[in-house]
Chains A and B, each alone.
Chain A
Amino acid sequence: MSEILIKNACVCDPAQGINCETMDICIRDGKIVDSVSGNAKVIDAEGKLTMAGGFDGHTHSAGKINVGRFINPNDARKNLVPGLSGQVARTEKTRAQVGYNTPNTYAIGYRYAKLGYTTICEAAIPLLAARHTHEEFKEIPILDKMGLSLFGSNWQVMEYIRDKEPEKLAAYVAWGLKASRGYGVKIVNPGGGEAWGWGKNVSGLYDPVPNFDVTPAEILMGLAEANERLQLPHSIHVHCNNLGKPGNYATTIETMKLFEKVKPSRDRQSLHVTHVQFNAYAGTSWRDFETGAPMVSDYINGANHLTFDLGQVIFGPAVTMTADGPVEYANSRMLHEKWNNQDIELEDASGVVPLFYSPKSFVNAVQWAIGLELALLVKDPWKMMFTTDSPNGGSFVNYPEAFTYLMSAKRRAEVISGFPKMALDRMVLPGIDRELDFYELAVMTRGAQSKIYSRPEKGNLKAGSDADIAIYDILPDQIDPATEYAKVKKAFSGAAYTLKDGNVVVKDGEIEATPKGRIYWVNAKVPANIDSTVQKDLDLKFKKYYTVSKSNYMVEDMYLENPVEIGTEGVF
């Protein structure tokens, strides 16, 4: 039995409504408890800001990021955030680290831990490539991991939707999650991945997918229905159609409206819309491009059935990676950039393109503003997760920098002062003076994630929760984040302590220990008779079309380290 007592912690735990109150936290055997014995090891937090371990709900950290590493060997040398990027020699406790946007697996674990993060969700696992994703997960130390499996342009999915067989669809989704050891349903540009196989795209919710006679709206509704039928812990996780195109805010709102009639089967949202920054563009072309954030946030303020994450842009080099093949093709042509395209057989298409966000480009400046506008115009922080869609909007190592934008109008004004004049007319950010406090920040980086992913033991400091804790070198009552943003950034860049399951993994911004994290995956129960008919359909699919056999497809248990199987009961 190991016991720890964290004394004099200035706790900020929105799940319990605790807003920077000094108290003690007790830990026994990796869990938070109400009290410990006198033999407990004592950590004196000295009044520093203490939160649950951070939880990044949408990041690309295994799988496609490896393609990013291939096409960006130069990224290995980039050191834009000293201490959290670039080449770092191995030490007695850590392995060698390289990279900025596409760091090696070890660096991902160390760097997240230094920021006080303890859990991440990889946002896109192609079923066919799941085994490799889990191999990478295995090499990311410290963090707990989960991944969302891609279903949005999958032949089997579209066929069951076209043939109106919702029960079989649900059974297929359950099988797909099991085959990929995934945690939830990810949908990227529904229908667009298949259309891209024919050099095309879908332009909105009601464009039929070539050869399948289904529309993106039907795919979304069908998968949402399957998701609720299986009572999955996370709602469907949607990357909307028309991403990255001027005027796409209308498609985004249309997609959100579609879900007003979907009834969630658990205490959570029925729709999660991801990296909304890339989907909140107004105007009709890149010439008259402007922010659509006010319209999108207006709708979100009046809606209670959805959550979203930001996809905040960070200036400097980034690498876009998405299962949206056509958008990546367009990016590479427009930017004259190198690119990679992957065709995931019957399931998806994806692409990787490096790019550079420059504050001198009016489009990039407006993109930067849109993320912050969404964060500040949406009143309820429980509806959003803070992300950069790392590394699409920029690397996660810039989170501390981004927090200063959220917490300080002065800091935003400083950045905006460097923008071209044209950009200022296209954004509403300069007129927003809202500044978030530590409480709201804790909601957006931990609390909301716990709710959105139905992981009650994460993102809070209630008794019974995992003892994943971050202590930052800030005395909340003695600092004004609106003016002292440099101190805020420094503190969030290297936690005074990060605890993972009650183990000190970071102390004074340095890695202390590198335990192995868990893998969460969902095993949804499906009646045997439905499953067996679906298996027959699948056998045929594999025989006819796949380059691999079904038995070579499933991720076996040996690929999972410390797996946590989450069972759900399907309603059939």
Chain B
Amino acid sequence: MSLLFAGRRQAAAHRAAIPSGRLRWLHRSLVGWGFAGPATALVVGLSIFPAVWAFLISLQKWNGIAPAKPIGLLNYELMVQDPDLLAAVRHTLVFTVLFVPSSIFLGMLIAVALNRPIKLVGFYRTCIFIPFVASAAATGILASFVFNPQYGAANTVLRTIGLPQQQFLESQSQALAVICLIALWGQVGFTVVVYLAALQDIPKDVVEAARMDGANRWQVFRHVTLPALGPVTVFTSIWQTITALQLFDLVFTTTRGGPLGATQTIVYYVYLQAFKLTKFGYGSAVAYGLFAATLLITVGMIVYSRRSKIEAF
């Protein structure tokens, strides 16, 4: 009897605890979302929601004003056969292949040099990093001045050392390579900082131990430093690939896609299709294609780095 009673009292106490527990839970959730809610709502509202909407738009023929016409996957079918888009993809890939390895190689080289205890290192660091702070728009305008065929400094330098003048951004065959040089000028500072940080993380005693064992500088670099930089290299490759695939500002402020479409990139093409020709549906389809490709490349790099035992993520 007393046992039963005790049991009942416990149950009653438990029941009494439920509302207050629920209230506490509700209160905690309100406080939590009070903190996280505004930013989460903004991020989701400005990315997941539009991303889903972009997919719906990509299934339509729509100019933003007239009623949208659902056309299924037609935009994607058109995409595969569009010679201008194909050219834009080719230009973007050429740029990526030129830009990513050179920015990694140059960044690593400069970082190794800046990691030595030498004079003027602060001055060198500042010089190499400052272009990264300048916007791509300002960089593009500056570059179109420096590489101007008539009065640009680049041709003045070529003249002085007795080399033939170049057309640079006005030449169909050179424009993309010149844009790549400009992009390197503006972006290498980033890779340098990332590698510099990684180099300073390498324990000094490991390097010293290797030196004690009779390794020369090159062997230390090859067998100690380089493997330690593996994860950072995966990170910079992915980061710079994404940057390269999204090239737009520099093209807009140097060549506007010219001469004769030679520097038209995928994002520039999306901009033209969507906002100049108001083909919202087709523009969205191309943007989705770019997204899918970026995702594929990123995942591919991560899987590859895992396989080769480089733990970057």
**Do A and B assemble together?**
no
